[in-house]
Amino acid sequence: MAIDFKQLQRKLKGNLFTDNTIRTLYATDASAYREMPLAVAIPKDEDDILALIQFAAENGTSVIPRTAGTSLAGQVVGNGIIVDVSKHFTKILELNKEEHWVRVQPGVIRDELNMFLKPHGLFFGPETSTANRAMIGGMVGNNSCGSNSVVYRSTREHLLEVNAVLSDGSKVVFGALNIEDFHAKCELETLEGSIYKKIRSLLSNYDNQEEIRKEFPKKSVERRNTGYAVDMLLETAPFNAGSRISRFYLC
């Protein structure tokens, strides 16, 4: 059955494109991969994002979030609906000078963030080669870092919290948890709860732990982005009895 994009356009404040020209422009990123998306959306606000996620779920397709599109492995290429947040989600929302943190929307360019932070004597360390266009949403998605990563580490080491919308439209905050909060999350009868539960069940399994420790690149390789960093999750308190309660990163 054909997807009724006119119905979606009526729900959005932002733009929706289904013509060949725009879809062709978004059919690739900085990689060699190419696939025509069904449509391209430029959401204007959070309600638009919720409408897009709901529409994709109802129509059996996917959303592909995109910021600058400089990924090298086809991360923002696919046959779903491209959701380009680089146009309307570009605000630096809050700076806490005392605690050294900043809250931003995903479409803030890394170098522009540092221009903003400079007068305050602060900067965001991870520096990709594409820092003059790469955006924080994409840096979080890719766990980006650059030539000084041994000093500045990668994006996940600087990430305190992520406000996210899950595939069922629920809004969640991912951030540091102590062990009690982690187990409480696992009890939630929601999609968020089932994510935590799944992680707990997979990583509590001794055979899985052994396999991950054996097969993941060794820890001395700082830059080792090979899928989800489950090797790092194994180092956190729920799976590593007696260790300190670490920050709990999901990427």
Ligand X SMILES: Cc1cc2nc3c(=O)[nH]c(=O)nc-3n(C[C@H](O)[C@H](O)[C@H](O)COP(=O)(O)OP(=O)(O)OC[C@H]3O[C@@H](n4cnc5c(N)ncnc54)[C@H](O)[C@@H]3O)c2cc1C
Rounded distance between C-alpha atoms, residue 29 and residue 104, angstroms: 23
Tokens of 155: 């994006």
Closest to 9 measured CA to CA, from 57, 44, 61: 44
**169 burial via Cβ count (<10 Å: 0-12, 13-18, 19+):** middle
Indicate whether 130 belongs to the interface with ligand X (CB under 6 A). yes
> Residues near 29 by Cβ (< 8 Å), separated by ≥ 6?
66, 69, 70, 71, 72, 74, 75, 76, 77
In the complex, what is the shortest distance from the CB of residue 115 to ligand X, in angstroms, rounded to a whole number?
17
Distance CA 251, CA 235 (A): 15
Structure-token match 């709990």, residue found: 248
Q: How far is the CB of 3 from ligand X (least distance, A)?
A: 21
202 is written with which tokens? 């997979």
**Site for ligand X contains 76 (CB under 6 A):** yes
Work out whether 29 is an interface residue with ligand X (CB under 6 A). yes
* Cβ-based nearer residue to ligand X, 8 or 140: 140
What binding mask, one character per residue, do residues 153-182 give for ligand X by CB under 6 A, x or -?
------------------------------
Range 78-97, binding ligand X (CB under 6 A): 85
Q: Which residue has the tokens 């069922």?
A: 168
Choices 2-10, 16-24, 52-60, 65-73 (CB under 6 A): range interacting with ligand X: 65-73
Residue 236 is a binding residue for ligand X (CB under 6 A): no
Q: How far is the CB of 143 from ligand X (least distance, A)?
A: 7
- The reply to whether 48 sits near ligand X by the rule CB under 6 A is no
Task: State which residue, 59 or 142, has the beta carbon closest to ligand X.
Answer: 142
Interface with ligand X by CB under 6 A: which range of 12-20, 64-72, 209-217, 243-251?
64-72
**Alpha carbon of 168 to those of 26, 35, 165, 197: distances in Å?**
25, 25, 8, 17
Tell me whether residue 124 or residue 182 sits nearer to ligand X (CB atom). Answer: 124
Site residues (vs ligand X, CB under 6 A): 29-30, 64-72, 75-76, 85, 106, 128-130, 134-135, 137-139, 141-142, 144-146
